[in-house]
Amino acid sequence: MSEFLNDFVVGIDVSSEFSIVAMLAPSGELIRKPFRIEHNPGGFHKLLDILKKEEERLKRKPIYFVESTGIFHLPLFFFLRSNDLKGFVLNPLSIHSIKNFDLRKVKNDRKDAEAIAKLAKYQDVKASIVPEPQILALRMMTREYYALSDMLTEMKNRLCTDLYLLFPGFLDVFSGSLGKTALTVLRSYPSPKAVQAADTEALTLLISKTSRKSSAWASNKVNQLRDCAQLASSMPCEFALLGTKIKFHIDGIEHMQTSLNGIDAQIHTMIELEQFPAKARRNIELLDEIPGIGFLTAATLIAEIGDFRLFKSPKAFTAFFGIDPSVNQSGKFNGDRNKISKRGTRIGRRVLFAIAMASIRTTRNGQEINPVLRDFYTAKCVSKKKKVALVAVMHKLLHYIFAVLRDQKPFEVRKPEDHQSWRKTKLQQAAA
């Protein structure tokens, strides 16, 4: 049964320019027809005045519920919260699940607002609380970082496509096909003809200085570049026009990289500010100490998690990230090919995948990043596919993160047998 059954409940269906509001009295009756408010100061104050009048009449403070709609619900949500009203955000999946209760097929904003109010009032639905503004701002910055990172990857892929035609073999010359050295060479010599006409000493010096390696190594790269340029001479001369396009791509890549560096610096600045919640800053520091997790990934995880106190168990924490298995069962049938639900935070799942990949790797000198997780992954790969084993590693990592945030203690790498011994000792001490 819903905890808001006897409350004055307000359902708000939010769009980009206006919202539709439906109000249910404590008895469950619709107070008035759902009405529209504009997303401007006049519309916000109109809603506030109506709610205050109904509050005086019903002797109950309104509790408002909005559907999560990207960023569009935030201005109205924070306006009402700043005026001492209590509010919650509902997941769109929960709201869509009750829109077919009526047999008639009616779909409009007024019905949606009424459905939000009824869902909150009568159903025991999980409502989320909007995190503190500092955490919300951090979430928006980290998501912007990954959005720009995707754009940078796409631009690099386009450059690679052009190089396959204009400069066959160039991508194999340098270990980082589009690293700093490769981009520097392309900026100064954007075509095979430019490489053939280049001064050998100048090109060698440029490569050696940019890569910070020996002249002999740079000289070898120059010879490889000239071989590639000779091969490219067999390509149609019309492809030479792609040289201008390559310059455009390089400008875009460098601009994107500068923007990414700026966002990364801004994230550090936001977290170091005095106004940033000390608890969240401490959680970022704790996650940063876990092998395979860097500062940016730690900040992204905390931004996506929000208030960790809302998670009562590792199971709920795993479901939030969408790593929990889906269930396909009916009658005597029990599906055995169930995928993960993917119902949670997409960015959090992406970051978790990157952490899992980093945790099972080894350094250049062969040292394992996380020996326990690497052994766990290797053992899983014996009977499972690699992707399935990697999901198991992600699941294990979530339990690590949950324990660290719950206990507020730094992460310690323990072998399974050592952990069982430690756990047994802890239980004995608790019983004593």
Give pLDDT tens digits for 186-207: 888 888 888 888 899 999 999 9
Q: What is the pLDDT of residue 307?
A: 86
80 and 22 inside one domain: yes
62 and 100 inside one domain: yes
105 and 122 inside one domain: yes
- Please give the Cα distance from 214 to 13 (Å, whole number): 64
110 and 159 inside one domain: no
Is the distance from CB of 142 to CB of 345 less than 8 angstroms?
A: no
Residue 1 lies in a domain: no
More confident position, 277 or 177 = 277
Contacts 24+ apart (CB under 8 A), 240-244: 240/166, 240/191, 240/193, 242/162, 242/165, 242/166, 243/166, 243/190, 243/191, 243/194, 244/190
Residue 272 lies in a domain: no
Looking at 242, 264, 286, the residue that finishes a domain is 264
Residue 250 lies in a domain: yes
pLDDT band of 335, cuts 50, 70, 90 = low
User: Dihedral through CA 340, CA 342, CA 347, CA 348, nearest 10?
Assistant: -50
250 and 314 inside one domain: no
Looking at 130, 154, 182, the residue that finishes a domain is 130
Terminal CA-CA length for the chain:
40
Q: Name residues whose C-beta falls within 8 Å of residue 410's C-beta, 6 or more positions apart in sequence.
A: 286, 289, 404
122 and 146 inside one domain: no
Name, of 105-109, 111-115, 390-394, the range with top average pLDDT: 390-394
DSSP 141: H
Q: Which of 148-157, 174-183, 249-258 has the lowest mean pLDDT?
A: 174-183
Stretch 131-142: mean pLDDT: 90
246 and 320 inside one domain: no
| Structural domain count of the chain | 3
- Please give the Cα distance from 117 to 4 (Å, whole number): 10
Both tokens assigned to 11: 């359902």
Q: What is the mean pLDDT of the chain?
A: 87
Share of the chain above pLDDT 70, in %: 91
Residue 89 has pLDDT above 90, yes or no: no
217 and 342 inside one domain: no
Q: What is the pLDDT of residue 412?
A: 85
Residue 123's domain is classified under what CATH number?
A: 3.30.420.40
Residue 365 lies in a domain: yes
Both tokens assigned to 369: 């990043």
HSE-CB at 273 with a 13 A cutoff on CA atoms is 13
Residue 385 lies in a domain: yes
Digit-coded pLDDT (tens) for 253-293: 999 999 999 999 999 999 999 999 999 999 999 999 999 99
Residue 323's nearest CA partner among 274, 298, 361, 356 is: 356
Share of the chain above pLDDT 90, in %: 48
Residue 142's domain is classified under what CATH number?
A: 1.10.287
Q: What is the pLDDT of residue 33?
A: 92
Q: pTM to 2 decimals? A: 0.83
Stretch 323-340: mean pLDDT: 71
Residue 33 lies in a domain: yes
312 and 354 inside one domain: yes
143 and 121 inside one domain: no
**Which amino acid, residue 187?**
R
- Domain housing 396: 277-329+337-431
The strand ranges marked E within 83-224 are 86-90
295 and 350 inside one domain: yes
Looking at 212, 232, 264, the residue that finishes a domain is 264
Q: What is the pLDDT of residue 63?
A: 93
Q: What b-and-e string marks burial along 169-188, b requiring 16 or more CB atoms within 10 Å of the CB?
A: bbbebbeeebeebbbbbbee
Residue 287 lies in a domain: yes
Phi/psi at 333 (nearest 5 deg)? -80, 135
Residue 43 lies in a domain: yes
119 and 52 inside one domain: yes
